[in-house]
Amino acid sequence: MNDYYAQNEPDPFESSHMLQNKTPVGNAHPSTYREWSGDATDQYSRWDPRGWSLKKKIFLAAGVVVVIVAVVVGSVLGVRANRYPNYSKLNYSLKDNFSGSSFFDNFEYYTGADPTHGFVQYIDRAASTWLNLTSATDTSAVLKVDTTYSGSEAANGRQSVRVTSKNTYADGLFIFDVIHTPYGCGTWPALWLTDPNNWPENGEIDVVEATNAGTFGTQSTLHTSKACSMGVKRKESGTVANEDCYYEANGYTGCGVKGTESTYGPEFNSKGGGVYAMELRDAGIRVWQWVRSEIPSDITSGSPDPSTWGKAFADFPSTDCDIGSHFKNQSIIINISLCGDWAGASKYYTKQSSCPGNCAAFVRDNATSFDTAYWEFGGFKVYQAS
């Protein structure tokens, strides 16, 4: 059958009806004639594409393309926004145990200038032992700031301690039993990990960090080289401070997560301290914190299983940060700096913590104000996946 005829053939009933009522051509009424022989497009409904103009077809085709693109882009963005690493269960075995009277045997004492420009003098093991700034018993280890010397005897900075673990780690589960966290005007304590000889290339993980009065909670932060961002899906209870982990971004603040007041300082100490746990693995870095009465039983029994701990305080997933390439050769570091870039800044020293006068002058002249500026640890344990 001819395609044109097939497409334009009138309905048989309609044709018969029109033939029966048609007058001779010579006498045909103009409207009657047009009804039979008019433009073919008049036969189609507005929804029939065969009757659409080229302009209409192009317009509608463009609309379809826009809708398809929007759906595809939306789907891609949705998938990207929901990306999240697989923190599957790992079986951990104890590798290192820092505890008892030999606690500080696991560390080297740092005596160089403070990299954070603090008003502090870091002293060696012999001096710190003589001044009782580091000590350890069967049940705990203490690291503190000098509370003896003032004025001219502290003119170049108050004496304190910074120690770095002899062992280094590429991954692992770190359990830090903390009985007392340091606080007080001018203080800047931290429990952290880094490669001191290759910073920031090999990364830095601040597990516990706070300044001055210590009433604003702990902060866990990463500092890295370029191409490490946390602007992705995360599962954490803390409050995000910044998302770009590049060490120079946001005024050298890294990508931090802030805790509540109970996670550090006087409130944390009043509950007998507790445990901070940090897991470093290719899937990401996570930090948990519990007060003494809420420590999971698998930690106290020596069989830690992070897959049962629930939401972390801070979650740094590998989604847009290659953890394995950004964090290498990590050493555990404990220190208490004084003043410096963070604690000494007026925004934090004066406005946030209402500390008196100039930070350096206060630290120099007020030895007895540092009675609470000490760490006390029940011990550290490092586990690695078997």
pLDDT at 21: 40
pLDDT at 89: 97
pLDDT at 277: 99
Distance of CA 264 to the CA centre of its chain: 19
Residue 123 CA to residue 155 CA, distance in Å, equals 15
User: pLDDT tens digit string along 339-355?
Assistant: 999 999 999 999 999 99
CA distances, 382 to each of 66, 99, 107, 171 (Å): 55, 11, 14, 10
Q: How many residues does the chain have?
A: 386
Residue 306 CA to residue 371 CA, distance in Å, equals 35
DSSP 234-301: --BSSEE--SB-BTTHHHHT-EEEE--GGGSHHHHHHTT-EEEEEEEETTEEEEEEEEGGG--HHHHT
Cα angle: 97, vertex 276, 142; to 5 degrees: 60
Distance of CA 89 to the CA centre of its chain: 20
Distance of CA 128 to the CA centre of its chain: 35
Contact criterion met (CB below 8 Å) for 154 and 364: yes
Contact criterion met (CB below 8 Å) for 161 and 124: no
**What is the residue type of 218?**
T
Cα angle: 190, vertex 101, 113; to 5 degrees: 35
Rounded average pLDDT per 10-residue block, the chain, 386 residues: 42 38 40 42 66 78 79 63 93 99 99 98 99 99 99 98 99 99 99 98 99 98 98 98 97 97 98 99 99 98 98 98 98 99 98 98 98 99 97
Cα angle: 249, vertex 252, 257; to 5 degrees: 85
CA distances, 1 to each of 4, 17, 41, 49, 66 (Å): 9, 24, 21, 22, 39
Cα angle: 49, vertex 52, 57; to 5 degrees: 85
Residue 383 CA to residue 152 CA, distance in Å, equals 46
Residue with tokens 């344990």: 381
Strand boundaries in the chain, DSSP class E: 92-98, 107-109, 120-122, 134-136, 141-144, 158-160, 162-165, 172-180, 187-194, 204-209, 219-223, 228-229, 239-240, 255-258, 274-281, 284-291, 314-317, 320-321, 331-338, 374-385
Residue 238 CA to residue 287 CA, distance in Å, equals 10
Active site residues: 204, 209
Report the 10 Å Cβ neighbour count for 100: 14
Residue 81 CA to residue 223 CA, distance in Å, equals 23
pLDDT at 255: 99
Residue 161 CA to residue 231 CA, distance in Å, equals 36
Q: Is the peptide bond before 200 cis (omega within 30 degrees of 0)?
A: yes
pLDDT at 78: 61
The residues pairing with 281 across neighbouring beta strands, listed in sequence order, are 284
Report the 10 Å Cβ neighbour count for 384: 17
pLDDT at 43: 63
pLDDT at 73: 67
Give 374's contacts (C-beta < 8 A, 6+ positions apart): 142, 143, 144, 145, 180, 182, 336
**What is the residue type of 172?**
G
Contact criterion met (CB below 8 Å) for 377 and 100: no
